[in-house]
């Protein structure tokens, strides 16, 4: 837990934060409404005698009383998909609409991409991209299992993504759930901090900046870009968004979130950020008994 000490000045009730990080994370699933209604998924779980608790902030999120959420009948038939509760947040903030063109820049293994398709009633185009060819098979498998027919899979480096294969020249929305140092996953991955270093944070933040800038460039004026990570490092969160604000035509906008959270930072380690970054959300493990996440919503202005 030593790397997390650097966040003591910015986390309210830091001891509760550390205690939550030490506790194992429970199992959660998302109801896949492409295949089943919430009511039908709940009935399937009850028929299996699998206990569940619906999340107050989102009825499609279920906390299951089982150690094998992927082995249930409902999962096998695509009624549910194992997805950490806080991982459901970015597509909800993105708020995709039926018929739109949406780009998930770093999509594998497909949890958020298929969630986007479900939020669009599987009507429109979801371009699910990943640069790691080895992870593409998992992305395709999940798309097929969950019945996401609106989903198209591509394999490109998102920093230099080309729209040439498509008949359109811009997306309506884009999700950048960026590769990161994964500090916020420590409850399910106890070894998440084993290879932690500030050099790694600096390295990955450079990649994040390139992906977010390309997402803004590839989204139409008035469109939405959501940037998210599962880490606490301001270098990978507010600093990356600040880089996009400085380099591209976009602005940070407010959004509603049913989960308890802290505002984004406007200063870190002597570096100042735009005051609008307070509109971003920092979700800490002790606030909702979840993993950690950062989410910012941008509007493309030109």
CATH of the domain at 75: 3.30.70.1170
Cβ–Cβ < 8 Å for 281, 262 = yes
Q: Is residue 172 scored above 90 in pLDDT?
A: yes
Residues 73 and 154 in one domain: no
Rounded to 10 degrees, the C-alpha dihedral 95/82/17/187 comes to -150
Query: Which pLDDT does position 51 carry in this prediction?
Result: 97
73 phi, psi to nearest 5 deg: -60, -40
Mean pLDDT of 140-145: 96
User: Domain range for residue 167?
Assistant: 2-12+85-300
Q: Is residue 165 scored above 90 in pLDDT?
A: no
CATH number for 189: 3.40.50.150
Using alpha carbons only, give the angle 187, 94, 44 rounded to the nearest 5 degrees.
60
The secondary element (H helix, E strand) that includes residue 203 is helix 198-217
Residues labelled catalytic:
230
Question: Which domain-ending residue is among 49, 83, 117?
Answer: 83
- The CA-atom distances, in angstroms, between 226 and each of 136, 221, 244 are 22, 14, 12
Diameter over CA atoms, the chain: 56
- The CA-atom distances, in angstroms, between 189 and each of 25, 29, 148, 183, 194 are 9, 17, 28, 9, 10
Mean pLDDT of 267-282: 97
d(CA 89, CA 187): 18
Residues 72 and 117 in one domain: no
pLDDT band with cut points at 50, 70 and 90 for residue 146? very high
Query: Which pLDDT does position 246 carry in this prediction?
Result: 98
Residues 8 and 63 in one domain: no
And the tokens for 109? 């293994």
Query: Which pLDDT does position 206 carry in this prediction?
Result: 97
Of the candidates 206, 252, 205, the residue with the CA atom closest to the CA atom of residue 225: 252
d(CA 165, CA 85): 34
Residues 58 and 196 in one domain: no
N-terminal to C-terminal alpha carbon distance within the chain: 43
pLDDT digits (tens, 9 = 90+) for 59-99: 999 999 998 999 999 999 999 999 999 999 999 999 999 99
Query: Which pLDDT does position 148 carry in this prediction?
Result: 98
Q: Is residue 1 scored above 90 in pLDDT?
A: no
Of the candidates 289, 235, 285, 287, the residue with the CA atom closest to the CA atom of residue 265: 235
pTM of the prediction? 0.97
Question: Which domain-ending residue is among 40, 68, 83?
Answer: 83
pLDDT digits (tens, 9 = 90+) for 179-222: 999 999 999 999 999 989 999 999 999 999 999 999 999 999 99
């Amino acid at each position: 837990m030593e790397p997390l000490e650097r966040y003591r000045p910015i986390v309210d009730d830091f001891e509760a934060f550390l205690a939550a990080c030490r506790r194992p994370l429970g199992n959660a699933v998302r109801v896949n409404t492409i295949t089943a209604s919430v009511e039908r998924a709940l009935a399937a779980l009850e028929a299996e005698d699998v206990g569940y608790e619906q999340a107050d902030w989102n009825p499609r999120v279920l906390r299951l009383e089982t150690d094998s959420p992927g082995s249930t009948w409902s999962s096998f038939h695509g009624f549910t998909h194992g997805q950490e509760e806080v991982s459901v947040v970015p597509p909800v903030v993105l708020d995709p609409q039926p018929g739109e063109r949406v780009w998930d820049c770093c999509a594998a293994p497909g949890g958020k991409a298929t969630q986007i398709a479900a939020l669009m009633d599987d009507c429109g185009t979801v371009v699910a991209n990943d640069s790691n060819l080895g992870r593409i098979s998992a992305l395709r498998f999940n798309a097929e299992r969950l019945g996401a027919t609106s989903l198209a899979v591509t394999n490109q480096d998102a920093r230099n993504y080309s729209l040439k294969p498509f008949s359109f020249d811009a997306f309506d929305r884009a999700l950048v759930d960026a590769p990161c140092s994964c500090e916020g996953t420590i409850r399910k991955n106890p070894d998440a901090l084993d290879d932690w270093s500030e050099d790694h944070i600096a390295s990955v933040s450079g990649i994040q900046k390139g992906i977010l800038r390309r997402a803004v460039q590839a989204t139409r004026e008035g469109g939405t870009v959501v940037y998210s990570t599962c880490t606490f490092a301001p270098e990978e969160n507010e600093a990356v968004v600040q880089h996009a604000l400085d380099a591209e035509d976009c602005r940070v906008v407010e959004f509603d979130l049913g989960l308890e959270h802290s505002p984004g930072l406007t200063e870190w380690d002597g570096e100042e950020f735009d005051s609008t970054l307070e509109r971003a959300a920092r979700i800490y493990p002790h606030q909702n008994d979840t993993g950690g996440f950062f989410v910012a919503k941008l509007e493309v202005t030109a």
